[in-house]
Amino acid sequence: MNQNSVDKTAYWVSEFQKGNVMAFSNLYDSHIQILFNYGCKLTTDKELLKDCIHDVFVKLYARRTELGVIENFKSYLFISLKNKLCDELRKRSFMTDTSVDEMEPVSAAGDDVESRYIVLEKAQTEHLMLESLMCRLSPRQREALTLYYIEEKKYEDICSIMDMNYQSVRNLMHRGLTKLREMVK
């Protein structure tokens, strides 16, 4: 958020606390999408999330005269939403027949964009590192390891493809793997 939008938010909060309904509307419009995106990281239940966001703003409006100075309105909303979601999820867990052990956490639901990005980034880094290491092997070692691990060929097939006897292929692969392990250390 840039300084101008922080100043606007502070102004709108101040005006809202004085009873300006338009300022409340501006606060709602400028923060609703940010809250929804944040809430999606906490729960996969979109309807519950929408209800909780609505409840946060209703409570905010109802208690506007009781609010003190809010230094960081965005953080205030995030904390309020998180607390509201926790309360609602706690209520639901008491009302359900499903045991806590059977409930699937949000992160296990596969809907966590950040986790997926990290896994993808790690896989790409490992792939580039493996390619770099494989380039340091002899062409025959690289061919044998590729046939076995990537193309999933059996030793007998590798022997016939590379026109080598069984023990020579085993020795070649062993030397290649040993060299890879030494390079990784």
Put residue 138 in one of left, alpha, beta given phi > 0 → left and psi -120 to 50 → alpha. Answer: beta
Per-residue pLDDT of the chain (185 residues; tens, 9 = 90+): 555 666 788 888 888 888 888 988 998 999 999 899 888 888 888 899 999 999 999 998 888 888 777 778 888 888 889 889 888 888 876 665 555 555 555 544 445 566 777 777 888 888 788 888 888 999 899 899 888 988 888 999 999 989 999 999 999 999 999 998 898 87
Whole-number Å distance between alpha carbons of 145 and 137: 10
